[in-house]
Structure 1
Amino acid sequence: MSEDLARAALRYHAEPRPGKLSVESSKPLESQRDLALAYTPGVAEPVRAIAADPAAAYQYTGKGNLVAVISNGTAVLGLGNVGPLAGKPVMEGKAVLFKHFAGIDVFDIEVNARDAEHFIEVVAAIAPTFGGINLEDIAAPDCFYIEQTLKARLDIPVFHDDQHGTAVIISAALQNALKLAGKSMAEARIVCLGAGAAGLASMRLLKLLGAQQITLVDKDGVLYAGRPDLNDYNRPYAVETEARSLAEVLPGADVFIGVSAANALPPELLAQMAVNPIVFALANPDPEILPATAKTLRPDVIMATGRSDFPNQVNNVLGFPFIFRGALDARARVISDQMLIAASQALAALAHEPVPASVLQAYGLDALAFGPDYFIPKPLDPRLLDMVAGAVARAAQA
């Protein structure tokens, strides 16, 4: 990040008042009667109603449109375990995106938890406040256990965005990239570099969409059957192979998905991929390989990154606000695989539609149409709310 941008970012967060969130009343409080309705004695009526029927909380409180964005700060962006307080700007930022893109209210909650069990107990204890829980920036493997346990205990949607939000956007982009490459999900050889929360969840969703040839690689090499350091979460993705390194599995592959680190894709390996290689270099802020480098070496490459200054940004804001909007509207108890698939397919379909003038103006473009430089919708596309949230709600009610 440049010094100018860094200074601007600090000013943005500090001025004219610190932080990015505020709480505003949704009801008038201008008279004695307003006060009597808002608090005593009038507030007793909704209290009685909810005590008699807990579902009435959705009618008389903000629960049904309120999401908790919760983190313990153990895996914040690419900065690592910076702690819950340092992660607060990210959680506030997530809240702003929820509100701006989907009209969802958010409380950001940073938990100084000793361990996964402590974190789970804290979240479970405060869950009655909310209509949904968005887990964020929690390190693997704890993130898997935390989400699974909370989903089983709570009667509201629990969603770890680093897993499933990323998976939805990657799968949507890959469906369209494969069409451009003239390949199918079932036949494509897919190599994923990075076997943490994002990598495992993304490969799981791709399997549900029909992928059959997936190899995962982490910092220690290929996830192969019998590798002694695998855990209960990554062991199901191990494959029978003699290969042990990225250099052994990437030649001839159709797809490279990187959720790892800067410059982790050597150009010489990209050169050995199949015709029309698909490269999702999603490490932020510096991708596994820069688009200019990739396209110079392989003019036939079909590419996405996680950055907004390159075409085809794989950005979670395309997913989580609208997935939650659909889940809240349907009053879903869980966010199911069918809802994730619906979101992914709706995103993929939207990229084939004519792009509105408002989107072109927002991005300073004269034209935009489905192709190698546009196979995933832009985050500022206003149609996302209706198309993705609607698809998720319908899937929830099916």
Structure 2
Amino acid sequence: MDEDLRKAALEYHQSPRPGKLAITATKRMETSRDLSLAYSPGVAAACEAIVADPDTSFDYTSRGNLVGVITNGTAVLGLGNIGGLAGKPVMEGKAVLFKKFAGIDSFDIEVSEQDPDKFIEIVASLEGTFGGINLEDIKAPECFKIEQTLRKRMAIPVFHDDQHGTAIIVGAAVLNALKVQNKKIEEIRIVTSGAGAAALSCVNILVSLGAKPEHITMTDIEGVVYKGRPNLDPTLEHVARETDARTLPDVLAGADVFLGLSAPRVLKEQWLPLFAPNPLILALANPEPEISPEIVKAKRPDAIIATGRSDYPNQVNNVLCFPFIFRGALDVRATAITESMKLATVEAIAELARVEASETVAAAYGGQAPMFGQDYIIPKPFDPRLIMHIAPAVARAAMEAGVARKPIADFEAYKHELERFVFRSGQLLRPVTEVARKACPRVVYAEGEDERTLRAVQGVVDDGLAHPILIGRGLTIAQKITALGLRLKPGQDVRIIDFDQDKALFEKMLAHYQKKVGRRGITPEAAARILSRRQTVAAGMLLDSGEADAAICGGTGDWWRQFEYALPLISRRPGVKRVYAMTALILQAGVLFFCDTHVNVDPSAEEIAEMVELAAEAVHRFGITPKAALLSHSNFGASNSPSARKMRQALGLIRARVPDLEVDGEMHADAALVEQIRGRAVTDSTLTGTANLLVFPNLDSANIAFNLVKATGEGVTVGPMLLGLSKPLHIVVPSATARGITNISAVAAMEAALAAK
């Protein structure tokens, strides 16, 4: 990696607190009674229940949703045998992926033991702690013995992801590539470059899918794996071929599939003509593949290529499967992960790539629905449908294999439960950043000298979200970049606009500004003073004049005053009467959108209807189907107060304006979030599940509710987002963090990209 990425990675792991994991209590601990229930004497009741029936440990402890990510560090990523301690950042990262993608808690355990028998004893002794074991970064051939022995000894799932995760994704990729290329798996010839644990597992799963063993040739650093090869590893004897071929090019002629799990540049450009027509090339070495996709596309345009990298189509990434395999296995309390469960995962992933994408999925992919074909044979790792397809398939396969201790009776209800994992935490911004990265528009920052802004802009540059423009004194900005240890390069990564230095641009902006405010009582002298001193005005004018595509203002001083500076500069969208503010709050249970949190003190029913239409459109852009609840002190007609009547009137107007929107009201806040409570109040609600778009009768209630939930729920804020402007301009609150500014930058960049279309 380059030095900039290394510094960024170290900063990421160190700040704001070291590491990537923390433990959060799931029960309240506020009173002496809470203490007596959680610990002595009440805890004895749970202990006694488990003594009587060990399976109740899944009911009374966190074991049923807890996976151990365990390594001895003998084969860490591309770093080799660096030991468990040095591999801990990787294990923490794996644990984070479990949590983010599937809601699974994890402990990472780094074992300083390379003797496989002793390692087995250590891991086997931990069975009572976990619901499943994810073995990670253990070298071959020891990994085979370790996994096989632990699977026999332990009554919980044991899964070595380095072997099976890659194999599952490769299996799905091969199945779909063959559909695209109109070939049959039992007829194809397969050549591997690499014969380690992952390659062997890939070969095994391809054979299970129908590939003929005699059509598969494996190669490694010593050449072809052939029968009688001196010093052949015993784990390779069953895949050794009767052949006179000794080198990789010797066996490529007529190959339909190349499976690379070896090293960079192993597959040479001059060998590409040897392949059969319409080959599949899986070049999975990381970070540099066995051959670059550009070379393959140029020399063999008939080929389908997949790599392990996210910057090319068809990324083979284990995160496509392991969180969701464990989700399904844990949910039926499986005693093992069987071959049938792995094959069910293969089929689920392959099928998902062939399913027509919905509008929500299209948003998650950056606004353009993926189309099954040469550049899309496997889903992307961030596809929101993965958990909905894989976990039920795994659970069903576990039940059919007889390893499920808690079978699922209603799979439709189970799928509904899984929805809560789809949009959690930072995943909310996934579709936003996809759109932003593709367009990378120009975003101007009014407070270019602010330290939070500079840290945020570093994140914007690192993520490729936008081309930042900073307003401020060039020398001051450069000094602060250095003092903060940032890697931003003025003139290269960011453009700095210093009106004291760029007189020509200032005069151009001033002339444009005077045309806007000349008949509002602002003299030319006052206009010059305002433009030079109020950065929000300067940012707004750069946006309005076309020098920028989006603007981020505020963060210092009074939010409302900043809003008043900006509002006259950018026109409203055609047909929109007012501007509104919506703020998203990302919680562990999902995301809630609050409106109007900042602008309209007491909106009318007509204004609420317009606001909801704009807000629902904005929620859609996050790849989420909006479910709107009109909130009130009144619950479905219980009160006839003016505010209750207003919300009832707004409901009728909204249904007329947006007939396809799932909306209901007026209702209490708990009824909006809990379907059972809503069902006790009315039997004909048109709102299903949990509302995610909360609409309040006035600004006081919206702002108070938002801040209370934010403080008590430890939520992450995105916004406020201004709705109704013709160009993307947002004003951050004074309490915004650098991460918050990066988040709203992504939203602004996405809006600019969509506006450009």
Relative to the length of structure 2, the TM-score reads 0.52
For the pair 1:305 / 2:307, whether they are aligned, the reply is yes
| CA distances 1:318-344 after superposition (whole Å, capped 9, x unpaired) | 010111111111211111110000000
The equivalent of 1:389 in structure 2 is 391
The equivalent of 1:136 in structure 2 is 136
Cα separation, partners in 2 of 1:386 and 1:362, compared to 1, 3 Å: closer
The equivalent of 2:371 in structure 1 is 369
For structure 2, list consecutive stretches of 5 or more residues without a partner in the other structure: 401-757
The equivalent of 2:90 in structure 1 is 90
For the pair 1:180 / 2:180, whether they are aligned, the reply is yes
Do the aligned residues in 2 keep the contact of 1:156 with 1:334 (CA within 8 Å)? yes
Q: 325, 328, 331: which one pairs with 1:326?
A: 328
Partners of 2:313 and 2:359 in 1: CA distance:
18
Partners of 1:26 and 1:389 in 2: CA distance:
24
Q: Which 10-residue stretch deviates more, 188-197 or 347-356? A: 347-356
The equivalent of 1:199 in structure 2 is 199
Partners of 2:243 and 2:323 in 1: CA distance:
39
| Identity rate, percent | 60
Partners of 2:238 and 2:362 in 1: CA distance:
43
Partners of 2:311 and 2:267 in 1: CA distance:
20
Partners of 1:72 and 1:114 in 2: CA distance:
6
For the pair 1:282 / 2:288, whether they are aligned, the reply is no
Q: Tell me the CA shift for residue 361 of structure 1.
A: 4.0
The equivalent of 1:105 in structure 2 is 105
What secondary structure does 1:271 align onto?
A: helix
Q: Tell me the CA shift for residue 233 of structure 1.
A: 1.6
Q: Which 10-residue stretch deviates more, 166-175 or 360-369? A: 360-369
What secondary structure does 1:215 align onto?
A: strand
Partners of 1:245 and 1:296 in 2: CA distance:
25
What secondary structure does 1:86 align onto?
A: helix
Partners of 1:354 and 1:380 in 2: CA distance:
16
Partners of 2:235 and 2:37 in 1: CA distance:
51
Partners of 2:16 and 2:361 in 1: CA distance:
29
| CA distances 1:22-44 after superposition (whole Å, capped 9, x unpaired) | 00000000000000000000000
Partners of 1:380 and 1:267 in 2: CA distance:
32
Higher RCO (CA 8 Å, separation ≥ 6 residues): 1
The equivalent of 1:121 in structure 2 is 121
Partners of 2:360 and 2:139 in 1: CA distance:
38
The equivalent of 2:166 in structure 1 is 166
For the pair 1:270 / 2:243, whether they are aligned, the reply is no
Do the aligned residues in 2 keep the contact of 1:276 with 1:301 (CA within 8 Å)? yes
Do the aligned residues in 2 keep the contact of 1:359 with 1:380 (CA within 8 Å)? no
Structure 1 letter corresponding to 2:258: F
Do the aligned residues in 2 keep the contact of 1:164 with 1:201 (CA within 8 Å)? yes
Partners of 2:365 and 2:351 in 1: CA distance:
20
What secondary structure does 1:233 align onto?
A: helix
For the pair 1:219 / 2:226, whether they are aligned, the reply is no
Q: Tell me the CA shift for residue 368 of structure 1.
A: 1.7
| CA distances 1:133-181 after superposition (whole Å, capped 9, x unpaired) | 0000000000001001111111111000000111100000110011111
For the pair 1:37 / 2:37, whether they are aligned, the reply is yes
Q: Tell me the CA shift for residue 357 of structure 1.
A: 4.2
The equivalent of 1:315 in structure 2 is 317
Structure 2 letter corresponding to 1:230: L
**For the aligned residues, what is the CA RMSD?**
1.1
Partners of 2:142 and 2:280 in 1: CA distance:
31
Do the aligned residues in 2 keep the contact of 1:282 with 1:306 (CA within 8 Å)? yes
For the pair 1:248 / 2:255, whether they are aligned, the reply is no
Partners of 1:260 and 1:365 in 2: CA distance:
35
The equivalent of 1:209 in structure 2 is 209
Do the aligned residues in 2 keep the contact of 1:70 with 1:110 (CA within 8 Å)? yes
| CA distances 1:263-295 after superposition (whole Å, capped 9, x unpaired) | 111111122111111100000000000100111
The equivalent of 1:16 in structure 2 is 16
The equivalent of 2:27 in structure 1 is 27
The equivalent of 1:5 in structure 2 is 5
For structure 1, list consecutive stretches of 5 or more residues without a partner in the other structure: none
| CA distances 1:201-258 after superposition (whole Å, capped 9, x unpaired) | 0100000000011111111111111223223321111111111110100121011010
Q: Tell me the CA shift for residue 87 of structure 1.
A: 0.5
Partners of 2:46 and 2:335 in 1: CA distance:
23
Partners of 1:79 and 1:363 in 2: CA distance:
32
Q: 338, 341, 355: which one pairs with 2:340?
A: 338
Structure 1 letter corresponding to 2:28: P
Partners of 1:125 and 1:157 in 2: CA distance:
14
Partners of 1:65 and 1:51 in 2: CA distance:
20
Do the aligned residues in 1 keep the contact of 2:364 with 2:384 (CA within 8 Å)? no
Do the aligned residues in 1 keep the contact of 2:281 with 2:306 (CA within 8 Å)? yes
What secondary structure does 2:277 align onto?
A: coil
Q: Tell me the CA shift for residue 364 of structure 1.
A: 3.4
Cα separation, partners in 2 of 1:365 and 1:225, compared to 1, 3 Å: farther
Q: Tell me the CA shift for residue 85 of structure 1.
A: 0.7
Structure 1 letter corresponding to 2:8: A
The equivalent of 2:537 in structure 1 is none
The equivalent of 2:295 in structure 1 is 293
| CA distances 1:62-96 after superposition (whole Å, capped 9, x unpaired) | 11110000001110011111111110111001001
Structure 1 letter corresponding to 2:289: P
Partners of 1:389 and 1:154 in 2: CA distance:
22
Do the aligned residues in 1 keep the contact of 2:363 with 2:369 (CA within 8 Å)? no
Do the aligned residues in 2 keep the contact of 1:281 with 1:305 (CA within 8 Å)? yes
The equivalent of 1:63 in structure 2 is 63
Aligned residues: 398
Partners of 2:231 and 2:399 in 1: CA distance:
41
| CA distances 1:363-387 after superposition (whole Å, capped 9, x unpaired) | 4353421011111011111111111
Partners of 1:197 and 1:19 in 2: CA distance:
29
Partners of 1:396 and 1:307 in 2: CA distance:
31
Partners of 1:137 and 1:360 in 2: CA distance:
35
Partners of 2:9 and 2:170 in 1: CA distance:
28
What secondary structure does 2:125 align onto?
A: helix
What secondary structure does 1:256 align onto?
A: strand
Structure 2 letter corresponding to 1:120: I
Do the aligned residues in 1 keep the contact of 2:192 with 2:199 (CA within 8 Å)? yes
What secondary structure does 1:345 align onto?
A: helix
Partners of 1:315 and 1:359 in 2: CA distance:
19
Partners of 1:362 and 1:387 in 2: CA distance:
16
Q: Which 10-residue stretch deviates more, 221-230 or 11-20? A: 221-230
What secondary structure does 1:84 align onto?
A: helix
What secondary structure does 2:85 align onto?
A: coil
Structure 1 letter corresponding to 2:36: A
The equivalent of 1:349 in structure 2 is 351
Q: Tell me the CA shift for residue 4 of structure 1.
A: 2.3
Partners of 2:367 and 2:347 in 1: CA distance:
25
Do the aligned residues in 2 keep the contact of 1:323 with 1:389 (CA within 8 Å)? yes
